[in-house]
Amino acid sequence: MEFPISTLTNIPAIHRVLLLAVVILTALGNVHGRHKVHKWETVEYSAISCRAHTASLTDFGGIGDGTTLNTNAFKTAVDHLSQFQSNGGSLLYVPAGKWLTGSFNLTNHFTLYLDKDAVLLASQDENDYPVIAPLPSYGRGRDTDGGRFVSLIFGTNLTDVVITGENGTIDGQGQLWWDKFHKGELKFTRPYLIEIMYSDNIQISSLTLVNSPSWNVHPVYCSNIIIQGITILAPVRSPNTDGINPDSCINTRIEDCYIVSGDDCIAVKSGWDEYGVAFGMPTKQLAIRRITCISPTSATIALGSEMSGGIQDVRAEDITAIDTESAVRIKTAVGRGGYVKDIYVKGVTMKTMKYVFWMTGDYGSHPDTNYDPNALPVIENINYRDMVAENVTIAAKLSGISGDPFTGICISNVTIEMAPKAKKLFWNCTDISGISSGVVPQPCDLLPDQGTEYAAPCNFPTESLPIDDMEIQTCSCRKKIY
């Protein structure tokens, strides 16, 4: 807005003041778009605990430009918010942006909340991941002897921790780590995206995890865990990018997740050979519901192979597997010890599978040569029902251990449509025993058909697990909208 000076001098003084104010306000309006302004918005989310205190990562110097390293910002924020553990707890809000960071720890009574447009970018510098001791139930790292790089998001000996958001993304930028693995250049075991140890009351929900260097979500030695609404994406040939691995955990619920993986979508574990036997902490009371899996070289749900502390009372239902090697696979070996028992599976839909049923007692990797060759695993009371599959290469490969058969296998109401180029032997069974009813094609002789007159569905418990009583609240937090 421009006025000739001659015009301004002819205007009374009071009017010149008012006009000047208009000019200034107009100028400010013109540059308004060049300055960040914000407003507050309240968002609601579901969590096991709500928090009394909220802070943003930007309050601690965080810069979401994709190149500035924010490890110290995360550490400073968590350290500051830890003072509210006994005063209503705290929430750290991660706004929209790309937040490059190395590993950082969580604290008690704490929520990490990712905006829908927030991306945590995992640093590719090994120096940003401290090396920690191997898990006592494993005795060594999974990739190498000795220690392991700590996970990107880590916590130990915690109570009441929530990692959630609006489907914000955690990107592990795993290609560099995968290349090092293939070239044998790793000094220590690769970091996971999220690992929580020795903790209780844990929720991980409403997130997208992509390109993890190795396992994505690893609760270990924990109890009362809810993992819900997670999307996990990794190239189907990426090494060991397991989706969710409950490990020596009690009372866990995994539900409503979509997983594309280079390894098992869900791998249930409890320690490795003599180390797992000595540690003696089983995984039990595990519910898995409404999971979709794509993994051409691995299982939808794997039980083992590290199962030496025992796996018991696993209930899986409403499962979808597409272009996946097998549905529910049991992996063990001589020297493992431990047990896998009381396994219940129902309502599985499969399309394009190598195997529907797969059990093996010859999964022979060992942490070292000190395992007990007389430690035989016990595999018993395995129940499958109400399943349908199409385009299948082999209906079943069920291989127990000579002198230590897998027992109490029950398969009922299962229809398998074989692929045009299926193997001639649909069922391959050794060292197992059990029963079947209403299964097409006809199972092997070691699973005799009970006939329609005496047939009953295989067991699936009707009582709920304790984790189903864990309450979820509707919480809210304020976030800045720029």
For the annotated catalytic residues, the residue numbers are 263
Listed residue (38, 43, 89) closest to 59, CA to CA: 38
* Cβ atoms of 150 and 188 closer than 8 Å: no
**What one-letter code names the amino acid at 107?**
T
Report yes or no: 288 and 244 within 8 Å, Cβ to Cβ.
Answer: no
The answer to whether 259 and 244 have CB atoms below 8 angstroms apart is yes
Q: CA of 28: how far to CAs of 15, 18, 23, 24, 34, in Å?
A: 20, 16, 9, 6, 10
Instruction: Please name the residues in contact with 378: beta carbons below 8 A apart, sequence gap of 6 or more.
Output: 338, 339, 340, 341, 404
CB 265 within 8 A of CB 297: no
Give the list of residues 6+ apart from residue 101 with CB closer than 8 angstroms, or none.
69, 70, 71, 73, 74, 120, 121, 122, 123, 128, 152
Longest CA pairwise span in the chain (Å): 111
Amino acid identity, residue 263? D
Q: How far apart are CA 388 and CA 169, in angstroms?
A: 34
Query: What is the phi/psi pair of residue 427, to 5°?
Result: -120, 130
Q: How many residues are present in the chain?
A: 482
* Residues 338, 307 contacting (CB under 8 angstroms): yes
> Which uninterrupted H or E stretch holds 72?
helix 71-81
What is the C-alpha separation between 243 and 216, in angstroms, rounded? Answer: 5
Residue 423's contacts (CB-CB under 8 Å, 6 or more residues apart) are: 393, 394
Instruction: Identify the CA nearest to 400 among candidates 428, 419, 426.
Output: 428
Name the token pair of 157.
């000996």
Indicate the SS3 state at residue 423: coil
Residue type, 167: N
Cross-strand bridge partners of residue 37: none
